[in-house]
Amino acid sequence: MKLWEKGIPTLQAIENFTVGKDRELDMYLAPFDVLGTMAHCLMLESIGLLDKAELSAILAALKQIYQQIQAGQFAIAPEVEDVHSQIELLLTQTLGEAGKKVHSGRSRNDQVLLDIKLFMRHEIERIVQLCDALITTLLALSETHRQALMPGYTHLQVAMPSSFGLWFGAYAEALAEDLMVLQGIFKTVNQNPLGTAAGYGSSFPLDRQLTTRLLGFENVAYNAIHAQMGRGKIEKNVCFGLANIAQTLSKMAMDITLFASQDMGFVSLPDALTTGSSIMPHKKNPDVFELIRAKCNRLQSLPYQMNLITQNLPSGYHRDWQILKEDCLPAFDQLAACLTMLGQTLPELRIKPNILQQDKYAYLFSVEQVNGLVMQGVPFRDAYRQVADLIAQGQKPATASLSSYTHEGSLGNLATEAIRAKQRQAVESFGFGSIHQALAYLFDYN
């Protein structure tokens, strides 16, 4: 079955090529196609295109399909083009004439765009929850290891004293700010495209405000052409948000692989977190962190892939958009897996004590010596030169204490509560609760 079928056969090779991976990828969208159809049918009844008996029967059938999807009992038949066609076919087989009415005032264009937005909205919530949990873990580790000193580097050269408290806190704050970026993108996703049809609206008196409320959208994507031009741009922007988080995770994973190397030796990894070598019995390889690095680096390419596919398309619908799903839809699972793995492994890292006692870190506190002279009234540039001369003579600066670091975000003042406030503000700004309420009402309607 095809929603556009008019009794004229299509060459099988053409059909296979144009359908592509839709049957496989549309399984991501199946539950959201049901929700969108429920809201659309409630709206059709409100404007007189369905009667109450038809609406009741359609909603009952859709809820049954939804339950089949959730139970893993739903499939797209080989002869059916996509999930939209499959659901409409099931409704028609079950209800007869009423099932044929559900597409009134709707095009597959706005149907697909709606499904993608609902899917992304749902998946963004999952990513936000995983980021929230990882930030909480990082902040707890930051407090636990606040006095565990380590060297800080610039240009991969020993620079100034740092701490694991500062390091864990850095990634907590980075992820909180990544969520702020994602929230701005989420606001553009959370706009209702239903009712724009093929990109030029409909001559039916559609109530788009009603479907917006029923589906828990924050606002309407008003202009029909603009809404359809959102295909590709929506995917690119969301992938940018995911890539932004992936960049943070990739850097963290890279740090850990360095810290666990024998040359640095800041942390050790329990055997359960490592793999071995086929010929070197001593090896303990940080494969999990290397794979997080690689997967997250690949995720960072997604916005560019989305852009290359869509950058020179004029307004109106184009089938090019179909292949965006191939990389975009699975990306959420890939990022979620990396977030989950870091949440499980980070608490298992073993921080080595007394790292700074090694001779190679002897000059780590030179800046503190300069600052000490400045506090005694020596101009900074003169103090810098005095300490440089002492270092040239082989003198090593004394170790400073954490108590000399007092400003927010320093070794002695990690500003954990301030970062936690950023975390709470970022997570709460998504407003997922109102979406849950709207969808609960929609699904409970009878």
* Region 275-287 average pLDDT: 75
**What is the 8-class DSSP label of residue 260?**
T
Region 290-319 average pLDDT: 92
Q: Is 318 annotated as catalytic? A: no
Q: Residue 223: CA atoms inside 13 Å, Cβ hemisphere, count?
A: 6
Query: What's residue 135's pLDDT?
Result: 98
Pair 289, 345 in one domain: yes
Whether 115 is in a domain gets the answer no
The model's confidence at residue 34, banded by pLDDT at 50, 70 and 90, is very high
- Alpha-carbon 345 to chain mean position: 20
- Identify whether residues 190 and 299 lie together within a single domain: yes
- pLDDT of 36 > 70? The answer is yes
CA distance 343 to 333: 15
Average pLDDT in the 292-319 region? 92
CATH number at residue 332: 1.20.200.10
User: Number of structural domains, the chain?
Assistant: 3
Taking alpha carbons only, the member of 421, 296, 295, 328 closest to residue 124 is 328
The four Cα atoms 430, 337, 287, 257 give a dihedral, to 10 degrees, of: 10
Is residue 155's pLDDT more than 50? yes
Confidence at 272, pLDDT banded by 50, 70, 90: confident
In this predicted structure, the answer to whether residue 16 has a pLDDT above a threshold of 70 is no
Integer Cα distance of 335 and 242 in angstroms: 7
Q: Does one domain contain both 96 and 136?
A: no
- Which residue, among 70, 61, 72, has the nearest Cα to 38 in the 3D structure? 61
Same domain, 167 and 83: no
Instruction: Identify whether 261 is a catalytic site residue.
Output: no
pLDDT beyond 90 at 110: yes
Q: Which of 277, 315, 401, 434 is catalytic?
A: 277
Return the pLDDT at 8. 54
- Residue 351 forms beta bridges with which residues? 267
Is 382 domain-assigned? Answer: yes
Comparing 251 with 357, the larger pLDDT belongs to 251
pLDDT digits (tens, 9 = 90+) for 363-375: 999 998 999 999 9
Same domain, 338 and 397: no
Task: Please give the backbone phi and psi of residue 195, each rounded to the nearest 5 degrees, phi first.
Answer: 110, -10
Nearest-angstrom CA–CA distance, 249 and 342: 8
- Output 269-274 pairs: Cβ under 8 A, ≥24 positions apart: 269/348, 269/349, 269/350, 270/348, 270/350, 272/348, 273/345, 273/348
Rounded Cα distance between 70 and 76, Å, is 14
Pairwise CA distance, residues 295 & 432, whole Å: 28
Q: Are residues 234 and 371 in the same domain?
A: no
Helices (H), 20-107: 22-25, 30-46, 52-70, 83-95
C-beta separation of 158 from 364 below 8 A: yes
Q: What is the pTM of this model?
A: 0.93
Q: How far apart are CA 354 and CA 160, in angstroms?
A: 16
Mean pLDDT of 349-357: 93
Q: Name the residue with higher pLDDT: 443 or 17.
A: 443
β-pair partners for 410: 413
Residue at 232 is within a domain: yes
Model confidence band, residue 396 (pLDDT cutoffs 50, 70, 90):
confident
Beta bridge partners of 162: 150
Please give the residue range of the domain that contains residue 375. 362-401
Cβ-Cβ contacts under 8 Å for 262 (sequence gap 6 or more):
none
Domain annotation covers residue 141:
yes
How far apart are alpha carbons 286 and 294 in whole angstroms? 13
Going by pLDDT thresholds of 50, 70 and 90, the confidence category of residue 4 is: very low
Q: Kindly state whether residues 177 and 230 are assigned to the same domain.
A: yes
The active-site residue, picked from 40, 122, 155, 315, is: 155
- Residue bearing tokens 């620079």: 159
In this structure, the answer to whether residues 95 and 26 fall within a common structural domain is yes
CA 140, 148, 270, 174 torsion-angle sign: positive
Give CA separation, 3 vs 100, 108, 109, in Å. 11, 8, 11
Tens digit of each residue's pLDDT (9 = 90 or more) over 198-211: 999 999 999 999 99
Same domain? For 280 and 366 the reply is: no
Give dist(CA 162, CA 362) in Å, integer.
14
Query: Helix (H, G, I), strand (E, B), or coil: what is residue 192?
Result: strand
Tell me, yes or no, whether 286 and 149 share the same domain. yes
- Of 66, 101, 136, the residue that ends a domain is 101
H or E segment to which residue 151 belongs: strand 149-154
